[in-house]
Amino acid sequence: MTLRMRLAGSVWTNHMARAISVRGYLNRVRLLTILIGFLLVGMARADQILLVPLDSRPASGQFAQWIGRIGGADVRMPPYQTLGRFTSPGQPDAILDWLEAQPIEKLDALVVSTDMIAYGGLIESRVNSVPLGVAKARLNRLVKLRERAPNLQIYAFSAVMRLAPTATRQAASWRMQLARLVELEDQSRQTGSPELREKIRNATQMVPAEEVRRYRATRKRNHELQGHLLYLSKKGDLDYLILGQDDAREYGPHVSETNALRAAVSQNNLDARVFFCEGIDQHSNILISRAMLRAANWAPRVRIVFSDPSTVNQIALYESKPIRKSLEDQIFAAGARPATGDGLYDYSLFINSPNPRASSFEIFSTLLGQEIDLGQPVAVADINLGASGVADPRLFQVLTERNRAEKLLSYAGWNTAGNTLGTAIPAANIAAMSHKLGNRSVDNEVARCEFLLHRMVNDFAYHRYTRPAAYQLIAELPGASKEETTGSSLSAVNNFVQRDLARFLGEYFRDMFFGTKIDASDGAYTISTLEDVKVWLPWPRAYEVRLDFKLRATKN
């Protein structure tokens, strides 16, 4: 039976059966996996990793640092001021200077956004301000680090440019029309539908011709640079490369670009070193996971449970491939593998798929609650997000009942399916690795609880409650907009977000994690305090928030 058939069919049948006699079956599986795990204790793991993130947003770097801490790794990034801010690009040459000054010879791995090194970050990669020659020269300078450290593992990721330009005030009047234009053009090429010609003519009139020219030139440059990345992979200068599809749809110029890249990967026998994944913001997480699992010489087996298996062939919003394929890609890219039919697995990934049928969701949520209550290793990815990217409150309620939140390996539910899967899977991989390899230190366990609390406050409370209220405030402020807000209006929004989200953080800590018992390798601890809380808007908009804090545990 193929992997796809297992994901779409037999997993559902199996988990229906498990719902009937879950305790005895799972206890047998748990005993087998624990016995296997004892054989792996003491194996090496990644200790020190350098990360050049996509930009200065929390999703680009902060999440990956937290995931590293769950497994005891020190993930270090360039100085914050070199990473840019919204339309102000990062500083590639300063970052390269910083990298060259690091003790490269002592590192376990380097995880790097080629968009930051080549252009100055994701936003800058969408405009044609950096010539191709300059971008190539910067990448060539990056891979020269191997001359000092031949055994250094370099994990890179690059964005296949999304359909729409960045949402700024300047582009607000035409950006979505441009995205619609290029989508229609590709749909016309693929289907030959004559009805689309009039729509294309109308869309063309809605976009300044100069913006269309710049857009096409930018895509051409980026595509040529990604060809250069494949060349560097072929040479062995890059050990692993993810080509991540930024926000997209079924049709668009990204389709032909990706097909050409796939053909080049196949022709050059790079299939084992180059992956094509949905999304881009989460790939620091994915590659941190892969680097740490590789150092530990361990690949977790992931059992998949969908809230509604009939949805796995759907294409999620802002993505270009079916959910089952996106899931498969991110599991493998993160260094894990789907569980096979032998019944053995290291953790279960419960996925709340888009718009599940009520009967299916009820069975799913019941089974999820049972497994968490039994102490089984469980991670949760909520991709039932809708157009606003907000997690499902029904699932959140299941997770927050009966002290369940503290028991999870990971949880995520933000923005897109790819972003969510690429956060939940890496965090679960590293938490499972920490438990499996006997590295269950109090610091690692506190980091796991911190990241769970962070995700629940950020993914659920912020996007469901605080962000909509911030948008309402923005609508009332002079000169403010959802795309970009500055000056005193930005200060007002920032102050509101700080107060409101800190309130949710305090409530969620008190209700879910205060008093949590931790069984660490050196004894028992209890999470007792929430400290060093900092909340702010990292970019001049309310779309994302930076949330920092620490949990403290007291030894019993």
Model confidence at 25: pLDDT above 70: no
% the chain with pLDDT above 70: 92
d(CA 39, CA 46): 19
Per-residue pLDDT band for 12 (boundaries 50, 70, 90) equals very low
Model confidence at 45: pLDDT above 60: no
**What DSSP assignment string belongs to 66-124?**
HHHHHTT-EEE---GGGG-BTTB---HHHHHHHHHTS-GGG-SEEEEEHHHHHTSSHHH
pLDDT at 440: 83
Least confident of 17-21, 328-332, 376-380, 385-389: 17-21
- Helix, coil or strand: residue 532: strand
Which stretch, 31-40, 109-118, 341-350, has highest mean pLDDT? 109-118
pLDDT at 20: 35
pLDDT at 343: 83
The answer to whether 219 touches 185, Cβ cutoff 8 Å, is no
Per-residue pLDDT band for 191 (boundaries 50, 70, 90) equals very high
pLDDT at 439: 77
**What DSSP assignment string belongs to 443-487?**
HHHHHHHHHHHHHIIIIIIIIIIIHHHHHHHHHHSTT--SS---H
The answer to whether 87 touches 168, Cβ cutoff 8 Å, is yes
Summarize the confidence of residues 66-88 as an average pLDDT: 96
Model confidence at 37: pLDDT above 80: no
How far is CA 279 from its chain centroid? 7
pLDDT at 342: 80
% the chain with pLDDT above 90: 84
Q: Over the stretch 287-332, which tens digit does the pLDDT of each residue have?
A: 999 999 999 999 999 999 999 999 999 999 989 899 999 999 999 9
d(CA 20, CA 30): 18
Model confidence at 147: pLDDT above 60: yes
pLDDT at 438: 79
Give the contacts of 272 (CB within 8 A, at least 6 positions apart).
Answer: none
Least confident of 21-35, 126-140, 276-290, 389-403: 21-35
Output the six-digit token pair for 165. Answer: 């330009």
d(CA 163, CA 168): 15
Model confidence at 21: pLDDT above 60: no
More confident residue, 67 or 521: 67
Nearest-Å Rg of the Cα atoms of the chain is 23
pLDDT at 532: 97
Per-residue pLDDT band for 511 (boundaries 50, 70, 90) equals very high
Model confidence at 31: pLDDT above 70: no
**What DSSP assignment string belongs to 124-151?**
HHTSS-S-HHHHHHHHHHHHGGGGT-TT
pLDDT at 71: 95
> How do strand 301-306 and strand 337-338 relate by DSSP bridges?
parallel
Global pTM reads 0.90
Average pLDDT, the chain: 91
What strand order describes the sheet that includes 410-412? Answer: 337-338, 301-306, 347-352, 378-382, 410-412
Is the domain 48-178+208-294 a CATH 3.40.50 member? Answer: yes
pLDDT at 537: 98
Model confidence at 249: pLDDT above 90: no
pLDDT at 546: 97
Q: Where are the domains of the chain?
A: 1-40+299-439, 48-178+208-294, 441-556
Summarize the confidence of residues 215-230 as an average pLDDT: 98
Q: Over the stretch 255-290, which tens digit does the pLDDT of each residue have?
A: 999 999 999 999 999 999 999 999 999 999 999 999
d(CA 185, CA 207): 14
The answer to whether 254 touches 204, Cβ cutoff 8 Å, is no
Output the six-digit token pair for 535. Answer: 């909340």
Model confidence at 204: pLDDT above 90: yes
More confident residue, 46 or 143: 143
Per-residue pLDDT band for 6 (boundaries 50, 70, 90) equals very low
d(CA 324, CA 440): 32
Question: What number of helices (H) and strands (E) belong to the chain?
Answer: 20, 14
Summarize the confidence of residues 328-347 as an average pLDDT: 94
Give the contacts of 321 (CB within 8 A, at least 6 positions apart).
Answer: 245, 278, 315
The answer to whether 335 touches 295, Cβ cutoff 8 Å, is no
